[in-house]
């Protein structure tokens, strides 16, 4: 069960950002975000957000629901364009890329989103082979080897000929993960990859994310509501809300941090500086209004 507070949009001033200790792996940033501003209509999602994701790390982005975590991933992958600021991935300015450039860049990014469903009429093998067949001209014998290696990496080589309806939810996630790494991406983005999983499946998927990251020299960006599991595998965590980074640090440092916002989030407390109401006019005005 998620221990995050329900919907949390701060209505009171938030404390200044807490930077907790030096980054454990101060490598070249693979993703570098500067002065990011993004609105949805009148609503400011990001206001001058700065954030670096160093190569080789598992970096988690956490924060209250509706705070813009999925939006951030979409901005990084170029699916959305910022109103201001810059986003560089592997040295390339995402916002300056044309369609071909974006296509090329996205081939370097594996994505495992909540919605990344398997193609139901294709076997496990064919699901994983799909991106290789679509995006490369590799020989079928080589594709076979690559698919089996990816399935081995997620512990499902033996299930290559199963159909998606024969898989448990956790197995289906693992096949989707094998498919996400089929093209040997530089980085992999996970958006709530454990939603709906039981604790054992979740733990297994988490361990897999860490293992794949280290074995394949990936860089992983993980958006998850599961505080405890995420603290267990991440190298670095960004807590975002109110359009900016409110705190960042190693799991250990955040666990020891005493600022009320960090405590509320890490401990999953319903009460604290962050409120759970989506911004709205006073209730009486709404109730008296004509609708």
Ligand X SMILES: Nc1ncnc2c1ncn2[C@@H]1O[C@H](COP(=O)(O)OP(=O)(O)OP(=O)(O)O)[C@@H](O)[C@H]1O
Options 69, 106, 150, 179; binder of ligand X; rule CB under 6 A: 69
2 binds ligand X (CB under 6 A): no
Q: Least distance in Å: CB of 196 to ligand X? A: 13
Of residues 130 and 276, the one with the C-beta less far from ligand X:
276
**Does residue 65 touch ligand X according to CB under 6 A?**
yes
Alpha helices (runs of H) in the chain, residue ranges in sequence order:
69-76, 99-107, 124-135, 140-153, 169-180, 199-215, 227-233, 251-256, 260-267, 283-288
Output phi, psi for 146, to 5 deg. -65, -45
> Closest distance between ligand X and the C-beta of residue 2, in Å?
10
Per rule CB under 6 A, is residue 45 in the interface with ligand X? yes
Q: Which of 77, 72, 15 is nearest to 40 (CA)?
A: 72
First to last CA, the chain: 36
Q: Which of 54, 68, 159, 185 binds ligand X (CB under 6 A)?
A: 68
Q: Does 243 bind ligand X (CB under 6 A)?
A: no
- Give per-residue burial for 142-179: e unless 16+ CB within 10 Å, then b: ebeebbeebbebbebbebbebebeebeebbbbbbbbbb
Does residue 101 interact with ligand X by CB under 6 A?
A: no
Q: Is 71 in the site for ligand X (CB under 6 A)?
A: yes
Nearest distance in Å: CB 75, ligand X: 9
Q: Which residues bind ligand X (CB under 6 A)?
A: 40, 45, 65-71
């Amino acid at each position: 069960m998620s221990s995050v507070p329900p919907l949390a949009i701060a209505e009171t001033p938030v404390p200044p950002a807490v930077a907790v200790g030096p980054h454990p792996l101060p490598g070249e940033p693979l993703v570098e975000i500067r002065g990011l501003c993004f609105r949805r209509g009148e609503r400011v999602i990001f206001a001058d957000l700065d954030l670096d994701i160093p190569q080789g790390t598992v970096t988690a982005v956490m924060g209250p629901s509706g705070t813009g975590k999925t939006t951030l991933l979409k901005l990084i992958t170029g699916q959305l364009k910022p109103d201001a600021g810059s986003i560089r991935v592997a040295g390339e300015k995402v916002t300056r890329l044309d369609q071909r450039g974006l296509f090329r860049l996205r081939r370097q990014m594996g994505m495992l989103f909540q919605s990344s469903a398997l193609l139901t009429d294709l076997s496990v093998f064919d699901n994983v082979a799909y991106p290789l067949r679509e995006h490369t001209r590799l020989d079928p014998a080589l594709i076979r080897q690559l698919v089996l290696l990816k399935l081995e990496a997620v512990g499902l080589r033996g299930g290559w000929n199963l159909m998606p309806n024969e898989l448990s939810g956790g197995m289906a996630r693992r096949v989707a993960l094998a498919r996400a790494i089929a093209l040997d991406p530089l980085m992999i983005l996970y958006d709530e990859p454990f939603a709906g999983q039981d604790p054992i499946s979740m733990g297994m998927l988490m361990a897999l994310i860490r293992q794949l990251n280290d074995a394949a020299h990936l860089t992983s960006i993980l958006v998850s509501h599961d505080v405890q599991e995420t603290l267990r595998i991440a190298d670095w965590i960004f807590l975002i809300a109110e359009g900016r980074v409110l705190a960042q640090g190693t799991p250990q440092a955040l666990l020891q941090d005493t600022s009320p916002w960090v405590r509320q989030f890490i401990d999953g407390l319903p009460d604290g500086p962050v409120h759970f109401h989506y911004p709205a006019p006073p209730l009486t005005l709404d109730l008296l209004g004509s609708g």
